Amino acid sequence: LSLYKDGKELSLIDEKGRDKTVEGFITGIMSKIREMTAVLNPTINSYRRFGSFQAPYFISWSHNDRSQLIRVPQFDGKCTNFELRSPDPCVNLYLALALIINAGIYGIKNSLKLPAPINESIYKGNVDIKKLDILPKDLDEALSIMEKSEFCKDVLGKVLCDKIISRKKEEWDKFVSGSKYEKGISDFEIKNYFYKY
């Protein structure tokens, strides 16, 4: 993602220090990510990749480490784009962008401050992971968080939000009752996801 103001691309770091708009936008996403995860990661399999394959598990950011939730690469002293690394390719792009943009606006309006970057591997470095929040461990947890989220209801509308939650809870219940929670892909997922995605 990149942010623009008056046709000019904004950089997280400029000659004056951190740009408050970009800082607020990124921090807003970090503050709402747990509430948005059920939409950004809509399948049971979405959660298996967290913490592996350079997919995030912790809610953190970095300039260079691809295992962080948000990566803000720096080129020629500027940070004009950033990557949100948690969404699954099965995401509904329209719902995802609505949530991401509104989370960013929330961060800007509330002047949220960005924590220090973690520019080393969380898994191999000297990072105190106990201080970091984590993404939901599975679809069930993500749905429980979304169900309590006024933010998601405000952005998506209560009717749509409730519909997503009820459909996905039904999906989760069928999965749990029909198979063990396996490391590999279950028969339930093959039967229910291959034709949809």
Residue spans of the domains in the chain: they are 4-190
Query: What pLDDT score was predicted for residue 40?
Result: 98
Round to whole Å and give the CA distance between 67 and 63. Answer: 11
184, with CB counted inside 10 A (0-12, 13-18, 19+), is exposed
Which residues lie closer than 8 Å to 197 by C-beta, 6 or more apart? 43, 89, 90
* pLDDT attached to residue 181: 55
**Rounded distance between C-alpha atoms, residue 106 and residue 160, angstroms:** 21
Q: Could you tell me which of 175, 179, 138 has the C-alpha nearest to residue 50?
A: 138
> Does CATH number 3.30.590.10 belong to domain 4-190?
yes
Residue 91: partners with Cβ closer than 8 Å, 6 or more residues away:
39, 40, 41, 42
- Residue 46 φ/ψ, nearest 5 degrees: -55, -35
pLDDT tens digits, 43-84: 999 999 898 877 899 999 998 888 899 999 887 767 888 999
pLDDT at 15: 67
Supply the Cα-derived Rg of the chain in whole angstroms. 18
The predicted pLDDT at position 182 comes to: 56
Q: Could you give phi then psi for residue 12, rounded to 5 degrees?
A: -60, -40
> What are the residue ranges in the chain where pLDDT is below 70?
14-16, 77, 125, 179-183
* Residue 192: per-residue pLDDT: 83
pLDDT of 183 reads 61
